Structure 1
Amino acid sequence: SVSLAKLRRAPLATALNVLVFGIALSLPAGLYAGLDNLQRFAGNLERKPQISLFLSLDAPRTDIAAIESRLRQHAGVASFAFVPREKALDEFRQQAGLGDVIDQLSRRPQSGPAENARNAGEQANNPLPDAFVINANNDDPRALTKMRAEFAQWPRVEHATLDSAWAEKLAAAVAFGRLATLFLATLLSIALIAVVFNTIRLQILTLRDEIEVARLIGATDPFIRRPFLYYGAAQGFIGGLLACLIIAAAFALLDDNMRAFAELYASDFRLRGLAYGDSITMLAFSTVLGWLGARLSVGQHLRQSN
């Protein structure tokens, strides 16, 4: 009841402190939830790592057959598919907005010896190479990288790519984001403790005479400290609730745009805010921050007065 009276005594100051708490907590918590959504979205798109071999434009059928034979005999290859340049061109044309790009590339003169009539005719109209898409037996990144390097040295292989490279970059970016979020959360937690510390200090200065009278009639330090601790914890708890509401509202507003973006990748992905367990954790954490700031402030005053 004493703590509620303190909240009602200065409603504007209390509201501003709670607002600061809510906004400060929503920043790292929102980033955490955003990174979690990014990982889930990437997981929906994730597929078995593949190695793609793009052949030189002047590769004759005999060399293509030789590469196919080597792939069949390779111990690390589980399966593979040959993608002729004609099929690649048709698929590329079907993608929205790429027809003009293909037409421009098709007009560009091609270099390299025309070893047969097939190559000479196709190079004039098709800038895309023949390719092999390979599924490996081993998903280990080191083994895949080694295989890609091996295939890149084969004759008539112009370029070899490992399709899991994007996933590795995404994982590194998410790890960096989590570290940055932890650093931001630490800084903001210290700032929130300082805010509560200063707020409680002002409350103590306002009630200094009452505290002295209470001491004269036998009030102990824990008795004097208790209402201020409740006041700080209440501020932290309400600030945590506000942060949960801010994050829920933000993700609800962004969900429609995210749904339209996910449809471009044939996905039904939906944004998800903080999980129930994460929300409870944040409420407990914000309450502890408020309590700790009040504890430090009251403790300092009691030591000085003693």
Structure 2
Amino acid sequence: MQAWIHAHQQALTLVLKKLRSAPFAHLVMAAVIGAALSLPAGLYMVLANLGNAAADIETDPQITLFMTLGANDAATKEIDNRLHKHSGIREYRFVSRETAWHDLQERNGVQGALNGLEKNPLPDAFIVHVSSSDPATADALQKEFSAWPQVEHVQLDAAWVKRLYTLLKLGEKAVMILAVLLGFALIAIIGNTIRLQILTQREEIEVSKLIGATDRFIRRPFLYAGALQGVLGGVTAWLILFVALYIFNQSVEELAQLYASDFRLHPLGLQASLILIVSAALLGWLGSYWSVSRYLSKL
């Protein structure tokens, strides 16, 4: 166990020594990795802020239950009790057919059309606001309410909510695709950088192989080097996003004040920041592993 720890400590010390000997080259590499990672991370941050803003807006889908024309007070009372006990409903209100008829008569331009009607054709109705803004939940409630007795028709008004969530999900998929593409590109870039380091140490590696060094021993410092470059790139990406967010929020806050809003973009949280840096380290490790393995397979 101590030998294993010593071997890793020795490899890490060697990598840090090379980092101090050529800091500018490593900073340039970190800037390249950071710029590439900041694109998907920045888009994710914007989508997360838009999702939080959408959650604060009144996005609850509205469901209207229309009773049958022959529904009596007992049937209406039963529906009222069911809605009152339902856990998926935030609030609801009852609109009697007399109230709906009166409101319709008060509207301009419809009095003449209503004069030919001998009786009130409108049913009693319940206007329901569900607790969740998830369109799938609203669809499920619509199907449930449609099966209730004396309910003639259930109308779901959630088209714009569905469009909003569809756009957000589309954005998430676009960010995922961009992240995957840039991830492969970074693996190739880091792998090529490690390959150049391998070529500068070619004679040393060949001598090590001749005296019995294992592939794992040779590969270890390069893996640390790739992971370290990834970490530096991840931290650089986080700094880029932080500075960009600070600059952008100045304009956003001025715009929000015009609409009496306190909206502003928030930075990545602790979990997202850790995922960014760890993902960058993993990409560096993969790029290094790929490059070293290719070289060792030719020896």
2:128 aligned residue: 136
Please state how far the C-alpha of 1:51 moved relative to its aligned partner: 7.2
Please state how far the C-alpha of 1:169 moved relative to its aligned partner: 1.1
Match of 2:294 among 295, 300, 304: 300
CA RMSD of aligned residues (A): 3.9
1:231 aligned residue: 225
2:252 aligned residue: 258
Closer/same/farther in 2, CA of residues 213 and 257 from structure 1, 3 Å limit: same
Give the 5 Å matches for 1:44-83.
Answer: 44-50=56-62, 78-79=93-94
Match of 1:177 among 159, 171, 180: 171
Deviations 1:48-94, CA, capped at 9 Å, x for gaps: 43479xxxxxxxxxxxxxxxxxxxx7968624698989xx9xxxxxx
Closer/same/farther in 2, CA of residues 137 and 294 from structure 1, 3 Å limit: closer
Closer/same/farther in 2, CA of residues 193 and 150 from structure 1, 3 Å limit: same
Letter in 2 for 1:284: V
1:193 aligned residue: 187
CA distance in 2, matches of 1:267, 1:215: 66
CA distance in 1, matches of 2:177, 2:243: 24
Letter in 2 for 1:36: A
Give the 5 Å matches for 1:1-306.
Answer: 1-50=13-62, 78-79=93-94, 115=112, 135-136=127-128, 141-142=138-139, 162=157, 164-263=158-257, 266-305=260-299
TM-score between both structures, scaled by the size of structure 1 = 0.65
Question: What runs of 5+ residues in structure 2 fail to find an aligned partner?
Answer: 1-12, 65-75, 84-91, 114-125, 132-136, 147-151
The alignment covers a number of residue pairs equal to: 243
Closer/same/farther in 2, CA of residues 258 and 165 from structure 1, 3 Å limit: farther
1:61 aligned residue: none
Instruction: Look up the SS of the partner of 2:194 in the other structure.
Output: helix
Instruction: Look up the SS of the partner of 2:127 in the other structure.
Output: strand
Please state how far the C-alpha of 1:274 moved relative to its aligned partner: 0.7
CA distance in 2, matches of 1:177, 1:79: 39
CA distance in 1, matches of 2:63, 2:250: 35
Instruction: Look up the SS of the partner of 1:205 in the other structure.
Output: helix
Instruction: Look up the SS of the partner of 1:219 in the other structure.
Output: coil
> Quick one: percent identity of the two aligned structures?
41
Letter in 1 for 2:224: Y
Q: Is the 8 A contact 1:49 1:135 kept in 2?
A: no
Instruction: Look up the SS of the partner of 2:268 in the other structure.
Output: coil
CA distance in 2, matches of 1:286, 1:174: 25
CA distance in 2, matches of 1:169, 1:263: 27
Deviations 1:85-144, CA, capped at 9 Å, x for gaps: 9xx9xxxxxxxxxxxxxxxxxxxxx9x79849xxxxxxxxxxxxxxxxx83266753466
Please state how far the C-alpha of 1:247 moved relative to its aligned partner: 1.1
Q: Is the 8 A contact 2:62 2:129 kept in 1?
A: no
Closer/same/farther in 2, CA of residues 144 and 207 from structure 1, 3 Å limit: same
Please state how far the C-alpha of 1:212 moved relative to its aligned partner: 1.8
TM-score between both structures, scaled by the size of structure 2 = 0.67
Closer/same/farther in 2, CA of residues 215 and 49 from structure 1, 3 Å limit: closer
Please state how far the C-alpha of 1:7 moved relative to its aligned partner: 2.7
Please state how far the C-alpha of 1:12 moved relative to its aligned partner: 4.2
Question: What runs of 5+ residues in structure 1 fail to find an aligned partner?
Answer: 53-72, 89-109, 117-133, 153-160
Q: Is the 8 A contact 2:33 2:230 kept in 1?
A: yes
Deviations 1:245-273, CA, capped at 9 Å, x for gaps: 11111222222332334445543233111
Q: Is the 8 A contact 1:255 1:271 kept in 2?
A: yes
Closer/same/farther in 2, CA of residues 212 and 252 from structure 1, 3 Å limit: same
Instruction: Look up the SS of the partner of 1:78 in the other structure.
Output: strand
